[in-house]
């Protein structure tokens, strides 16, 4: 990287000194480069690496930031703290775990384990434990912890038992990774002073996605005249439904009175037609700080608007257009195309059409690799080796594969463990335990001890293979698999986990760091190559494609009806702005005049987001069929389709 090619606003942001800084960075304006260059400039100014902390919201973003800095700073990058908010919170908890009743080897509960814990608590309190009730309680617990609701007596009682269960298991959930560090820093001035020293220069990326509780952490770490840099875009705040609060942007100049604001408005991604339309759309929002993006890529082509009769017509047209464009140019690749939709169910007709047309595609947002049953099975053994107090890992490991230890035996073991104040695993080898399954329980305890010894003292590949062999997991998968394909697929997943483990240990990592990496992993799978991408608009944030199709552009579809009912139109408009600015060169907006809903055909009005942008940047293809340009495009398009299909 070189600062020579920075534009004036980027340069000012990189080398700013003397006051807190807000970099208001528009879509495609080079914000990642600015924040990494600013970190590099601090290091080159002899700021100690361990006094710099950069936080963002996904491991993918943190990894990209670190890789860029490694090219610039080399080995010095290893001493920088670059991580997600939750990874930062985990570091705080682990370093002073005793302040919140934990040990340093604390476990992080996954969603499935949190559901199991809540179900257990509800059962103890003689409350309903059906799936819907569990999900409602988890939502209310999260809101309670994040101070998003006034607590009532019922949730306080559940939370007291739930928190006690987590503490007994030496575990935390994802909310705790924010709540507990704040509690520690509020109540212990020495903890706060220590972490303020480690964040003498704090940089926050994607700041518009921060929640109120994350902003409180920032305020505890950085005084009002401190070295705070936040980079964000009020026009891309689209996660209100999961706690992001756009008010954090407007609060900054009140909490940091000497705040400097620098706007990055030069866009390096999209052509002028796309940007002008996006600017005119988002200008309709009242809750924004204001900026106008300008393109350095030239005018480009107007945005196409299609109007079709049905969802099936829409899908066939998108598939045909992608195939025709791909066939017409050797420079195009399948992964240069992306189809966006407001709700995931809208992908179904598109998938059918792409399959029929022979177009390779990938639907983002499917089952995570690390959520697959066989992966969770292996990880439960690893977690139990690291943290013998992790009762959730014990419950999974002892039942995978089945050992004849059923619910009754586990209940008896749980009663004994609770009475003696110990974990389930420790109880298995307690001399006072009397049970007909005692040999099986002791054998399982010895197994975990043996595996723990292997992972500490043997080669990483031998340790992993011994886990598979001694646990009999591979035998269980072979018995359970319906056919050879299922067996190969599931074992293939485990072998992929093995490759991850060996790659991690080759780089000097240990079991604790490996599990931390996995359980904090927000972006679990590598992006697919060589396929058209299908995804919701929320999933597309931060990505860019040469050709983007936004389908379902009808009122009640996009904007979504629930947002209209709840008066959240401005967030929906920001979502549309994000969708439009994913496109580099070609943007197509499509609406169907009718769609099926609950088995009935319903007429649909055009989305207001088709009418709000400056119309000079849009071309309504189906209304403009008599123009010479439209005729030429249609004929060229049909010729490409005939060629693609070999006609």
Dihedral, 633, 634, 635, 638 alpha carbons, nearest 10? 120
Instruction: Report the C-alpha gap between 346 and 349 in whole angstroms.
Output: 7
Tokens of 428: 């298995």
Give residues with Cβ within 8 angstroms of 540, minimum separation 6: 338, 340, 578, 579, 582
* Catalytic, out of 10, 84, 114, 236: 236
Among the listed residues 383, 541, 582, 619, the single catalytic one is 582
Q: Would you call 540 helix, strand, or coil by DSSP?
A: helix
32, 199, 214, 346: which one is catalytic?
32
Mutual angle of helices 460-471 and 438-457, in 10-degree steps? 170
Distance CA 647, CA 636 (A): 14
The answer to whether residues 540 and 553 touch, using CB atoms and an 8 Å cutoff, is no
> Could you tell me which residues are beta bridge partners of residue 294?
266
Contact in structure between 162 and 141 (CB atoms under 8 Å): yes
The three-point CA angle 159-165-170 to 5° equals 125
Q: How many CB atoms lie within 10 A of CB 612?
A: 16
Maximal CA-CA distance, the chain: 90
Is the Cβ–Cβ distance between 488 and 50 less than 8 Å? no
Copy the structure tokens of residue 310.
Answer: 């049905």
| List 9, 31, 316, 452, catalytic entry | 31
244 neighbors 210 (Cβ within 8 angstroms) = yes
Pairing of strands 594-597, 600-603: antiparallel
Pairwise CA distance, residues 171 & 193, whole Å: 25
Q: Would residue 570 show up in a list of annotated catalytic residues for this protein? A: no
Query: Catalytic residue at 136?
Result: no
Token pair of 424, please? 């389930």
CA dihedral 185, 188, 189, 193 (to 10 degrees): -50
Task: Kindly name the residue from 96, 113, 175, 205 that is annotated as catalytic.
Answer: 205
Whether 53 sits among the annotated catalytic residues: the reply is no
Concerning whether 593 is annotated as a catalytic residue, the answer is no
Joined together, the tokens standing for residue 380 give 């439960």
- Of 96, 175, 176, 206, the catalytic one is 206
Active site residue 582: yes
Is residue 31 flagged as an active site residue?
yes
3-state secondary structure of 584: strand
Strands 201-204 and 227-232: parallel
Q: Which residues have a catalytic role annotated?
A: 31-32, 205-206, 236, 582
């Amino acid at each position: 990287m070189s600062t020579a090619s920075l534009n004036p606003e980027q340069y000012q942001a990189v080398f700013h000194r003397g006051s807190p800084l807000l970099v208001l960075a528009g879509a495609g304006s080079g914000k990642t480069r600015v924040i990494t260059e600013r970190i590099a400039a601090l290091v080159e100014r002899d700021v100690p690496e361990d006094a710099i902390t950069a936080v963002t919201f996904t491991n993918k973003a943190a990894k990209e930031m670190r890789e860029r800095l490694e090219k610039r700073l080399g080995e010095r990058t290893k001493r920088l703290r670059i991580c997600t908010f939750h990874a930062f919170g985990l570091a705080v908890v682990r370093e002073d775990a005793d302040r919140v009743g934990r040990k340093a080897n604390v476990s992080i509960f996954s969603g499935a384990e949190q559901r199991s814990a809540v179900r257990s608590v509800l059962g103890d309190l003689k409350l309903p434990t059906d799936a819907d009730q569990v999900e409602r309680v988890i939502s209310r617990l999260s809101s309670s912890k994040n101070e998003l609701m006034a607590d009532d007596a019922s949730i306080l009682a559940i939370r007291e038992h739930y928190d006690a269960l987590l503490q007994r298991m030496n575990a935390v959930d994802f909310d705790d990774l924010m709540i507990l560090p704040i509690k520690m820093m509020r109540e212990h001035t020495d903890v706060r002073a220590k972490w303020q020293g480690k964040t003498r220069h704090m940089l926050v990326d994607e700041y518009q996605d921060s929640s109120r509780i994350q902003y409180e952490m920032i305020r505890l770490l950085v005084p009002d005249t401190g070295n705070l840099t936040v980079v964000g875009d009020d026009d891309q705040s689209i996660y209100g439904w999961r706690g992001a609060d756009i008010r954090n942007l407007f609060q900054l100049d009140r909490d940091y009175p000497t705040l400097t604001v620098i706007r990055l408005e030069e866009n390096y991604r999209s052509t002028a037609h796309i940007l002008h339309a996006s600017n005119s759309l988002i200008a309709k929002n009242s809750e924004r700080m204001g900026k106008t993006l300008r393109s350095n890529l030239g005018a480009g082509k107007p945005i196409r608007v299609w109007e079709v009769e049905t969802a099936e017509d829409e899908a066939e047209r998108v598939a045909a257009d992608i195939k025709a464009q791909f066939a017409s140019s050797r420079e195009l690749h399948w992964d240069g195309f992306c189809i966006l939709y407001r709700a995931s169910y809208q992908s179904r007709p598109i998938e059918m059409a792409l399959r029929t047309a022979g177009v390779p595609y990938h639907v983002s947002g499917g089952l995570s690799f690390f959520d697959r049953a066989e992966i969770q099975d292996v990880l439960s053994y690893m977690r139990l080796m690291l943290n013998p107090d992790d009762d959730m890992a014990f419950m999974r490991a002892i039942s995978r594969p089945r050992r004849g230890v059923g619910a009754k035996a586990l209940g008896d073991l749980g009663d004994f463990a609770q009475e003696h104040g110990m974990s389930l695993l420790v109880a298995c080898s307690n001399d006072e335990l009397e049970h007909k399954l005692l040999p099986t329980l002791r054998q399982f305890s010895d197994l975990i001890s043996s595996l723990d010894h292997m992972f500490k003292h043997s080669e990483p590949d031998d340790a992993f293979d011994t886990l598979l062999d001694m646990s009999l997991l591979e035998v269980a998968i072979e018995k359970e698999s319906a056919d050879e394909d299922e067996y190969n697929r599931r074992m293939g997943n485990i072998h992929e986990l093995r490759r991850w483990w060996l790659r991690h240990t080759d780089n000097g990592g240990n079991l604790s760091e490996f599990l931390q990496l996995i359980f904090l992993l927000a972006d679990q799978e590598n992006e697919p190559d060589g396929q058209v991408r299908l995804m919701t608009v929320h999933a597309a944030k931060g990505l860019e494609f040469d050709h983007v199709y936004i389908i379902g552009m009808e009122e009640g579809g996009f904007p979504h009806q629930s947002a209209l009912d709840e008066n959240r139109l401005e967030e929906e408009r920001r979502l549309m702005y994000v969708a439009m600015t994913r496109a580099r060169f070609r943007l197509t907006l499509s609406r169907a005049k009718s769609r099926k809903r609950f088995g009935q055909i319903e007429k649909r009005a055009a989305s207001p987001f088709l009418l709000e942008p400056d119309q000079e940047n849009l071309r309504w293809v189906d209304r403009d069929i008599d123009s010479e340009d439209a005729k030429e495009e249609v004929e060229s398009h049909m010729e490409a389709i005939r060629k693609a299909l070999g006609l």
